[in-house]
Structure 1
Amino acid sequence: MQRMTLIHIFIALFALSEGAGFAESISVGIYKNGEPFAKWLGQADSSIEVIDLSLLPEEKGIAVLQRCCGFILSGGLDIDPAYYGRPEKAPLCSIDPERDKREWALAMIAIERKMPILGICRGFQLLNVIYGGTLIADIPTETVSRVVHRIEKGFAYHIISIEQGTLLRSLASGDYTLVNSRHHQAIDRLADPFLPSARSRDQLIEAFEWKEKDHQPFLLAVEWHPERMTDSFSKRIAEAFVIAVKENSLCSSGH
């Protein structure tokens, strides 16, 4: 599969400006880190095009997202604690105000358009905050957890337990699995619409999905990075998202 480049984006923008839309392709929007997701989703379906909206001017990014069939909230720097009512915790965090602002706006568009949404690490946390949940700003200083969730370089690894009867459990081979980890923030209060579907051994929430799934678009959020793993569980997460994207009624009708 070809890597996503600026050329791909310019082609997509030309098609959009000419009124052609994305009817001939299946596009997924993302804000930053598009390349590993393009490779990961491409292994599930080579027709998926991942478009990094951070490379576009703000208004153009919004226009392009409105032609996409799904949205990924990817990993990255911390969410500004002011977004969940704890501005005093900002010194503990590395933040990107421009990303917070733009990604929040894009997420609201994806939610309004009932797109399938996949949240990864920072994106997992951001979805919770958007829906009214809160975060632990810094696990080492705010909890007594003995689980290592982040190391200085690369990924830590730990076990998670997966809840029976959840979407996530339907994709897993068992009740427990090993995941990578690179975060120091975590969910404190889970937003009301969501159900925790996995936890680490310190009982921190590691994944969530809709509590009431009827008539809701696909939504799955995980604290780890499946796009950086090669196990069958990670592949099934990609496949489930791709299926939901391809079944998005707004896209199957040619927009």
Structure 2
Amino acid sequence: MADRPMIGITSYAQPARWGAWELPAALVPFHYVESVERAGGRALVVPPSVEAVDETLDVLDGVVFSGGIDIDPQTYGAERHEQTDPAQARRDAGELALLRRALERDVPTLAICRGFQLLTVARGGDLVQHLPESLGHEGHREVLGAFSEHPVEVKEGTKLAEILGPRHDSVQSSHHQGVGRVGEGLVETAWAEDGSLEGLEDPDKRFAVAVLWHPEMEEDKRLFEALVAEARHYRAERSAPRAAIP
């Protein structure tokens, strides 16, 4: 496919094993790459770093903030819950720097699971560190290493509703944390049947959409298709010649 916009995917930063080797690695589950490429984009894995953020965004037409390990509670002023993952300071700092600058530059952004949580933290919100304590069930992550399924209701008039319609019947879910205080400027867009928040977006940006589930695991690629379509427009605008100043 011609005119494939470049979509960055933020990477995990942790040990990985292949063959006889076990080494620190920057990697993403390949479903993210496949989803971007099926939607018409070209995927580029972006390791976490606070360096050269603008240079990174200069070559990207859109960004996917991927899932993964819990965000360090210190980033939103909370004490660590016993069920919260050990901190990954490099990933937290690098992704927060990239996300904040991407929003400032209005780069099309799709934030998934951890990315959803990162978006509200970047805007001054906070997180519920262990949802089963407040919900009374573990339906959003019944088994570690497997996805749970449930429907979500989507708010009319939002960009998410434009993409998915009023209901998405079988989202792929694997999280134990959620949003407490919603970050500044963000709109709530989707909820699970238990009332927990599953979607956020910034209506003032061209495309800043966040979901707590994992659309990369679904056959339905409408969220990725919408991101790639917006990234293509963004790329065209950036490459268009500017009118000379008289």
- TM-score band w.r.t. shorter chain: 0.7 to 0.9
SS in 1 for 2:156: coil
The residue that corresponds to 2:10 in the other structure is 31
The secondary structure found in structure 2 opposite 1:160 is strand
Rate the CA distance shift 1:153–1:35 in 2: closer, same or farther, 3 A: closer
Match of 1:85 in 2: 77
Deviation per CA, 1:129-175: give whole Å up to 9, x if none: 1011110011123x033360112231111121111222112222543
The amino acid across from 1:106 in the alignment is: L
The equivalent residue for 1:40 is: 35
Q: Which amino acid aligns with 2:215?
A: P
Give me the whole-angstrom Cα distance separating, in 1, the residues matched to 2:80 and 2:86: 13
Partner residue in 2 for 1:105: 97
Question: Which digits, 9 at most, give the CA deviation of each residue in 1:3-39, with x for residues without a partner?
Answer: xxxxxxxxxxxxxxxxxxxxx8621222212732221
2:172 pairs with 1:180: yes
Counterpart in the other structure of 2:137: 146
Count of matched residue pairs: 223
What is the deviation of 1:206? 0.3
CA distance in structure 1 between the aligned counterparts of 2:181 and 2:4, rounded to whole angstroms: 38
Gaps of 5+ in 2: 12-27
Deviates more, 1:154-163 or 1:217-226: 154-163
- The question of whether the paired residues in 2 share the 8 Å contact of 1:139 and 1:186 is answered with yes
Following superposition, the deviation at residue 59 of structure 1 comes to: 3.4
Q: Helix, strand or coil for the counterpart of 2:139?
A: coil
Whole-Å separation in 1 of the counterparts to 2:29 and 2:57: 14
Pair 1:132–1:159, CA change in 2 (3 A)? same
**Residue 167 in 1 paired to residue 159 in 2?**
yes
The gaps in structure 1 that reach 5 residues or longer are 2-23
8 Å Cα contact 1:26/1:49 also seen in 2? yes
Contact 1:207/1:222 (8 A) holds in 2: yes
Contact 2:129 2:178 survives alignment (8 Å): yes
Name the CA shift for 1:81/1:170 in 2 (closer, same or farther; >3 Å).
same
Aligned to 2:171, the other structure's residue is in SS state strand
Secondary structure in structure 1 of the residue aligned to 2:71: coil
Find the residue that maps to 2:228 and give its secondary structure: helix
CA contact (8 A) 2:63 2:110 kept: yes
Higher strand share: 2
CA contact (8 A) 2:190 2:197 kept: yes
Matched residue, 2:45: 52
Q: Indicate the percent of aligned positions where both proteins have the same amino acid.
A: 31
Q: Do the aligned residues in 2 keep the contact of 1:69 with 1:251 (CA within 8 Å)? A: no
The structure whose residues are more often helix, as a share, is: 1
Measure the CA separation in 1 of the matches of 2:232 and 2:214. Answer: 22
Query: How does the TM-score come out when normalised to structure 2?
Result: 0.81
